[in-house]
């Protein structure tokens, strides 16, 4: 394996502090509009922390650097979490978070590729995975060792295009492609097992020729360890990491709600949410 792709040592204290700030950024944006996909933003804050502050090779001063690793957010409505990470990483201004969801803002509820740091416009589920496969293949053809990382949802696995992309990635032996599946057991119409069953997710990917792992997606050091294992997996195999996450993680007020795919928040609840996010690292 190329030396630049070897695992690096993570700082758990630093990652905990960053994850807390990301959650506070998410709440800051969501409070502006009073509702939204705040549960998703909180739930993936740990993953985004590890990716942007430990794993991904990127340069905030050169966002179009061709050798950068790519992060593709297939689940466009998770944009609130991505904006928090981009701001904390210095890729977009932190003050711009206050424009989230406003008329004329660059920070739309689904991330647009016109925004610095966003590789594709997500939202129509089932499309991002295929684009990530194409990007990974393009990086190889260009002779680069950059990694392509894509995040998709558990409900997205109900789309046929997802499995076409999985088959193509294995066929082309895209071992610099890493896919994450956010398995939070919620989608707009209810739990995936009631809408259309998708388990066992790791076994399905293994059958397609992928190296597969399943971890606690809100355990930052487990994510670090899974990425280390992915980097040292057999050559020629694309990698997938299934994340069992809790929507609203870090803010019990939201995490304990029975339905939090799209949250409407009372004006008196924001102070409670901010306090809870400040207490949990």
Average confidence (pLDDT) over 246-264: 82
171 Cβ contact list (under 8 Å, min separation 6): 209
- pLDDT at residue 4 in the model: 46
**Mean pLDDT score, 162-190:** 90
Nearest CA among 277, 280, 217, 259 for reference residue 23? 277
CATH number of 11-279: 3.40.50.970
Q: Cis peptide leading into 98, omega within 30 of 0?
A: no
| 139 or 64, greater pLDDT | 139
Residue 268: predicted pLDDT: 87
pLDDT-wise least confident of 35-49, 70-84, 108-122, 259-273 = 259-273
pLDDT digits (tens, 9 = 90+) for 122-131: 877 778 999 9
Tell me the domain boundaries of the chain.
11-279
Mean pLDDT of the chain: 90
pLDDT value for 115: 92
Per-residue pLDDT averaged across 152-157, rounded? Answer: 90
**What is the reported pTM?**
0.91
177 has pLDDT over 90: yes
Tell me the chain's radius of gyration from C-alpha atoms.
Answer: 18
First to last CA, the chain: 34
Q: What is the pLDDT of residue 232?
A: 94
The answer to whether 265 touches 35, Cβ cutoff 8 Å, is yes
User: Which pLDDT score is estimated for 3?
Assistant: 38
pLDDT at residue 5, as a whole number: 53
Q: How confident is the model over 186-239, as pLDDT tens digits?
A: 766 667 777 676 789 999 999 999 999 999 999 999 999 999 999 999 999 999
């Amino acid at each position: 394996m190329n030396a630049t792709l070897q695992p690096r040592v993570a700082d758990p204290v630093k990652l905990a502090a960053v994850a807390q700030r990301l959650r506070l950024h998410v709440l800051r944006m969501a409070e502006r509009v009073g509702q939204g996909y705040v549960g998703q933003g909180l739930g993936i804050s740990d993953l985004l922390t590890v990716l942007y502050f430990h794993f991904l090779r990127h340069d905030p001063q050169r966002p179009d650097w061709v050798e950068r690793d790519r992060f593709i957010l297939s689940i466009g409505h998770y944009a609130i979490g991505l904006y928090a990470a981009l701001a904390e990483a210095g890729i977009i201004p932190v003050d711009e978070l206050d424009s989230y969801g406003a008329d004329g803002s660059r920070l739309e509820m689904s991330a647009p590729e016109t925004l610095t740091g966003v590789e594709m416009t997500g939202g129509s589920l089932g499309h991002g995975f295929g684009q990530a496969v194409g990007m990974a293949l393009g990086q190889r053809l260009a002779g680069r060792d950059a990694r392509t990382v894509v995040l998709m949802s558990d409900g997205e696995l109900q789309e046929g295009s997802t499995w076409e992309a999985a088959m193509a990635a294995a066929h082309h032996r895209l071992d610099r492609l890493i896919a994450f599946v956010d398995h939070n057991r919620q989608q707009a119409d209810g739990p995936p097992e009631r809408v259309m069953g998708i388990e066992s997710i790791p076994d399905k990917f293994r059958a397609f020729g992928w190296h597969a792992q399943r971890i606690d997606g809100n355990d930052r050091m487990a994510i670090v360890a899974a990425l280390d294992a992915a980097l040292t997996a057999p050559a020629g195999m694309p990698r997938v990491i299934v994340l069992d996450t809790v929507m609203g993680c870090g803010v019990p007020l939201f995490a304990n709600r029975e339905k939090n795919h799209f949250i409407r928040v009372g004006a008196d609840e924001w102070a409670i949410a901010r306090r809870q996010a400040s207490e949990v690292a």
